[in-house]
Structure 1
Amino acid sequence: MHIDLRQLRHYIALVEHRSFVAAAAAVNLSQSAFSRSIQTLEHNIGCRLVDRASKELSPTRQGLLVLEHSRRLVHGAHNLVNEIHQFNGATTGVVRFGSGPAPAGGLVPRAVARFVAEYPAARTCFQVDHWQALNRKLIAEEIEFFVADTRQFESDPDYRVHKLAPQRWHFCCRAGHPLTEQAEVRARDVFDYPLATTFRPPNIRKILSDLSGRQDFLPTVECEHGYALLNVVRHSDTIGIACNANLRPYQMEGGLVALKLVDLAADQEEAFYTRYGVVSRVGYG
């Protein structure tokens, strides 16, 4: 019997995604190549691993047994590689990880700078993308971990989440904006102007819908990269959204101003804090 670790990884992905299409995308294979890999694994083992008649593609009894051993073997192989790297010298090698656009604007570069100062012989490669894409890269083992909003992973037993200190985010505008001349700024005042923000984080989407009173609210300018958005804000009357770490450099040079809304309800305050963390897979590293 010949069993390939790659086929075991593919089977794990199939069970996790319950879809040949989604699992193939997660491991960066065409659907036909992914299907052949699963079929080859089933042929080599001599049994069906998933119930294809089930909408959920549930594992068969034999499939559950194979899944348990697959995870152990794949995790063991990953840990072996890590231990060899550590044996060869913990101060060298390559660290590959991902970051969401907002953490990549301030938090992550500062952490990388400290890491490089401490381990100058190590290489660091990090990719900036939204959390869904970073999760696909994590499952495909293209990265070891990522830094992003952790809400989708906190209750998932297959993930390890290390929470980072929350940061307050603010509506902001350019210095000299008409809103800076008002004695008080209310939520409705913000929506008198164009808004530039990412719209992917669920907390931002919800709070903007609540504050605007429009469930179908959409920002005027939408982009994943925070610095690009803040430069739009800096050069127009557009209102932006930024957390403290990303906004601070602009405040120090006098380019942007944080807006304090006087009519925020107490139950809305939580939505104005980030929930960033370091997300990795259980059993890896």
Structure 2
Amino acid sequence: MLGITQPAVSRALALLESDVGELLFDRGTMLPTAFGKIVLKHGAQVVNSFSDLSREITLLKGLEVGELVVAMGPYPAAISGQAAAALLSNEHPRLSIDLRVMNWVDAVEAAKGGHVDLAFADLSEAEGSADLDVRPVRRGAVTFFCRAGHPLPSRPGLTLSDCLDFPWVGPVVPGRVGRSLPAADKPYGCFDPVNQRFEPRIVTETFQAMTEMAMASDALAAALPFMVAAEISTGRLAPLIKAPFLTLNYGFIWRKARTLSPATRAYMDAVLKIESQLPPQPIDEIEI
């Protein structure tokens, strides 16, 4: 796994122990001694620092031979995240792009751990993190929708309470939104008091899966109106009621003090270009 032979490892270990002046690994069990644990602890920091140094140097190579890794939540991915990657690829065909659509919670953690160049996801928890920098892109209230022929659209005086009688499909919802939902023992989903997040009855990590599930069942989903305008106009989906308490609040997230690569900046610009052409207009963005 290390790419070097066992004798070479033994020689390197012996030299390191000679420099330190202490035994670092027990030869019987090959478990680290107390001194070995200290070396391992600080060694990991050195390796990480070297990795960041190598990354900084690689950034100078620019867009043409670089790599971009983006973690994105279901909604921003469907609205502009994937389209922005396509736009960027057209302009820089030799750029390697790795898009990872996932739950917004995992996207934020990926950014915090430095496993991706950028996260494009819900900002609710990232905004309060001392380890992350954020740039808002869009806020907006969503509308419920369902399959054509669903019993709800024809129900007079439709209210949120009516929507609780059917399963909801979508990603895990941030606590800021989940705490606004009724604590009712009904099919729509439930609030997780431990993680402080709402879990719809059917959890999905892509908007496409969410839409297909709604069209094939009695499950309800939610989106910004323009996201399902085509399906509604062709009669495959039907709009229900607005849900002002269910709001999207997404943007860019990256590890604090980490230099943004030219590819990352270009991707962010592409997202903002696409967002500016969509209704409603995104939040006014400060210069990156």
Same structural fold, with TM-score higher than 0.5 when normalized by the shorter chain: yes
TM-fit CA distance, 1:234: 0.7
AA matched with 1:116: S
Q: Check the 8 A contact 2:108/2:121 in 1, yes or no.
A: no
The alignment status of 1:231 with 2:212, answered yes or no, reads yes
Separation (CA, whole Å) in 1 of partners of 2:207 and 2:201: 15
> 1:97 aligned to 2:70?
yes
1:284 equivalent to 2:284? Answer no
Instruction: With the length of structure 1 as denominator, give the TM-score of the two structures.
Output: 0.63
Aligned-pair CA distance for 1:110 = 1.4
Q: Do the aligned residues in 1 keep the contact of 2:58 with 2:66 (CA within 8 Å)?
A: no
Q: Root-mean-square deviation (CA), in Å?
A: 3.5
Instruction: Give 1:123-272 correspondences, 5 Å limit.
Output: 123-209=96-182, 212=184, 216=190, 219-244=200-225, 246-261=227-242, 269=244, 271-272=245-246
- The separation in 2 between residues aligned to 1:252 and 1:224, in whole angstroms, is 25
Q: Give, in whole Å, the separation in 2 of the partners of 1:115 and 1:164.
A: 18
Alpha carbons 1:173, 1:233 under 8 Å: kept? yes
The question of 1:274 aligning with 2:248 is answered: yes
Q: State the 1:75 CA deviation.
A: 6.5
Q: Deviations over 1:189-208 (max 9, x none)?
A: 21233332333432443333
Structure 2 unpaired stretches of 5+: 1-29, 192-198, 260-288
Retained in 2: the 8 A contact 1:75–1:283? no
For structure 1, the residue ranges without an aligned partner over 5 or more in a row are 1-32, 50-65
CA distance in 1, matches of 2:94, 2:252: 23
Q: Distance in 1 between matches of 2:34 and 2:256?
A: 23
Q: Name the one with the larger helix percent.
A: 1
Deviation at 1:153, TM superposition (A): 1.6
Distance 2:113 2:129 in 1: 18
Amino acid at match of 2:221: G
- Contact 2:59/2:66 (8 A) holds in 1: yes
- For 1:37 and 1:252, the matched residues in 2 are separated by 69
Report how far residue 132 of structure 1 moved: 3.5
Deviation at 1:79, TM superposition (A): 5.7
CA distance 1:183–1:198, change in 2 (3 Å): same
1:81 corresponds to 2:55: yes
Q: Which one has more relative contact order, counting CA pairs under 8 Å at least 6 apart?
A: 2
Retained in 1: the 8 A contact 2:111–2:253?
Answer: no
| Partner in structure 1 of residue 196 of structure 2 | none
| 4+ runs deviating over 6 angstroms | none
Q: Which has the higher strand share?
A: 2
